[in-house]
């Protein structure tokens, strides 16, 4: 396999391309299991609804953006919306809390599956 190393990616028209710096898809119930990932060395289960994604290679800055998705289970029942709130963002790891919110209630819960993408 060949490796291509560049400082900047651009379209043929000169617009910048910004690929994901890390991503992970995981099973969140019981013992967490990574289903697929890029630049993620491991996940740490910090308690109900709280996970740390550990990067295989540190990022150049902690000023990154992210997106997420989760699927409910018994801990995350019918809901108005799932939510994610970050606790800690460093160049080496990203700690998040997952849960649900519905009219009049909210709680942390382990998702059936969770996904996270980091952009820098």
Domain of 92 in residue numbering reads as 38-119
pLDDT at residue 73 in the model: 64
- CA atoms of 58 and 21, how far apart (whole Å): 10
Q: Averaged in consecutive runs of 10 residues, what is the pLDDT profile of the chain (120 residues)?
A: 81 84 90 94 91 95 88 58 73 87 74 87
Q: If phi over 0 gives left and psi between -120 and 50 gives alpha, with beta otherwise, what is residue 16?
A: beta
Q: Does 19 map to a domain? A: no
Residue 93, helix vs strand vs coil: strand
pLDDT at residue 53 in the model: 94
pLDDT at residue 79 in the model: 46
Q: Does 109 map to a domain? A: yes
- CA atoms of 59 and 36, how far apart (whole Å): 19
Q: Does 30 map to a domain? A: no
Q: Does 100 map to a domain? A: yes
Q: Does 71 map to a domain? A: yes
Model confidence, pTM: 0.80
Q: Does 1 map to a domain? A: no
Residue 76, helix vs strand vs coil: coil
Q: Does 43 map to a domain? A: yes
Q: Does 75 map to a domain? A: yes
pLDDT at residue 74 in the model: 59
What is the total count of domains within the chain? 1
């Amino acid at each position: 396999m060949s490796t291509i190393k560049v400082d900047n990616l651009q379209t043929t028209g000169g617009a910048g391309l910004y690929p994901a710096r890390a991503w992970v898809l995981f099973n969140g119930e019981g013992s967490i299991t990574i289903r697929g990932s890029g630049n993620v060395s491991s996940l740490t289960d910090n308690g109900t609804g709280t996970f740390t994604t550990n990067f295989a290679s540190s990022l150049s800055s902690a000023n990154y953006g992210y997106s997420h998705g989760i699927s409910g289970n018994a801990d995350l029942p019918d809901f108005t919306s799932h939510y994610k709130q970050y606790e800690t963002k460093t160049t080496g790891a990203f700690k998040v809390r997952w849960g649900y919110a519905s009219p009049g209630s909210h709680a942390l819960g382990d998702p059936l599956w969770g996904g996270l993408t980091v952009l820098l």
